[in-house]
Amino acid sequence: AQTVTQSQPEMSVQEAETVTLSCTYDTSESDYYLFWYKQPPSRQMILVIRQEAYKQQNATENRFSVNFQKAAKSFSLKISDSQLGDAAMYFCALSEDSNYQLIWGAGTKLIIKP
Amino acid sequence: GAGVSQSPSNKVTEKGKDVELRCDPISGHTALYWYRQRLGQGLEFLIYFQGNSAPDKSGLPSDRFSAERTGESVSTLTIQRTQQEDSAVYLCASSSTLGGAYEQYFGPGTRLTVT
């Protein structure tokens, strides 16, 4: 069965510095998608970045980038130049091509220190 | 355009009562998903709808949970005879169609508290 594991319940970083959030996953399929979502206290889940498994190039969205290691089934999120507005819960999620459900990790709480 | 909306924002109910939660997806989105998020945890898939196809109910935790969607519009999630373990945030999402390639847009959720 597919699983997503986030081993860091909480991370903190100084404003303007860089932080990396970890995620590992398990799937038997070759076609799948990986996501990082942000959930601020407002509860609104917001897509941060998406990676297609068939793409070797790591996805990048402004200050957010991923390190996708397909063989190791690892999908970490790097946030550069951290800002106070980045403080939130971050969830890693997996969607297999044959199964439209999103499978979620337990989340990492990111704290930004001013 | 408008995003996904959910109502009510918060619901407090007594154990044993029935509750109905509503989701209005983004107009034109054929796929609609319901998730449950318990405190401090990730999301659990409950059910999805795609157009007029039969829904995937594989995530519903018990027969007390049911959901309906009329065409490609509003969906309601009903929990009968609520229990304290049903307390959670219920999130709805919609996407243009099914598939991991299509971004799911989430509503703000309904926080359900069963006393």
Distance in Å, alpha carbon of B45 to nearest chain A alpha carbon: 7
**Nearest Cα to B38, choosing from B115, B113, B93?**
B113
Tokens describing residue A103: 């499978």
Q: Cβ neighbours of residue B49 under 8 Å, at least 6 residues apart?
A: B31, B32, B33, B55, B67, B69, B75
Instruction: Calculate the alpha carbon distances from B109 to A15, A16, A28, B13 in Å.
Output: 29, 31, 32, 16
CB contact under 8 A, B42 and A104: yes
Strands B10-13 vs B110-114: parallel, antiparallel or unpaired: parallel
Could you give the CA distance from residue B63 to residue B112 in angstroms, rounded to a whole number?
18
Longest dimension (CA), chain B: 40
pLDDT for A69: 96
Least confident range of A101-105, B11-15, B109-113: A101-105
Euclidean distance between CA atoms B12 and B112, whole angstroms: 6
Those residues whose C-beta lies under 8 Å from the C-beta of residue A53, and which sit 6 or more positions away, are: A30, A31, A32, A33, A34, A70
Share of chain B above pLDDT 70, in %: 99
- B20 CB-near residues (< 8 Å, 6+ apart): B76, B77, B78
CB under 8 Å to B52, separation ≥6 — which residues?
B71
Confidence of residue B37 (pLDDT cuts 50, 70, 90): very high
Domains of chain B, each with CATH number or no CATH: 1-8+30-96 (2.60.40.10)
Q: How far is residue B103 CA from its own chain's centroid? A: 17
Find residues 43-102 of chain B whose CB sits inside 8 Å of chain A. Answer: 43-45, 48, 50, 56, 58-59, 89, 91, 93, 98-101
Q: Quick one: pLDDT band at residue B40, thresholds 50, 70, 90?
A: confident
Please tell me the predicted confidence (pLDDT) of residue B1.
Answer: 54
What domains sit in chain A, N to C, each tagged with a CATH number? Answer: 3-113 (2.60.40.10)
pLDDT in tens, A70-92: 999 999 999 999 999 999 999 99
Question: What does the pLDDT look like over B47-91, one tens digit per residue?
Answer: 999 888 888 888 999 999 999 998 778 999 999 999 999 999 999
On average, the pLDDT of chain A sits at 93
CB–CB of B100 and A46 under 8 A? no
Chain B interface includes A59 (CB < 8 A): no
**Residue bearing the bigger pLDDT, A11 or B52:** A11
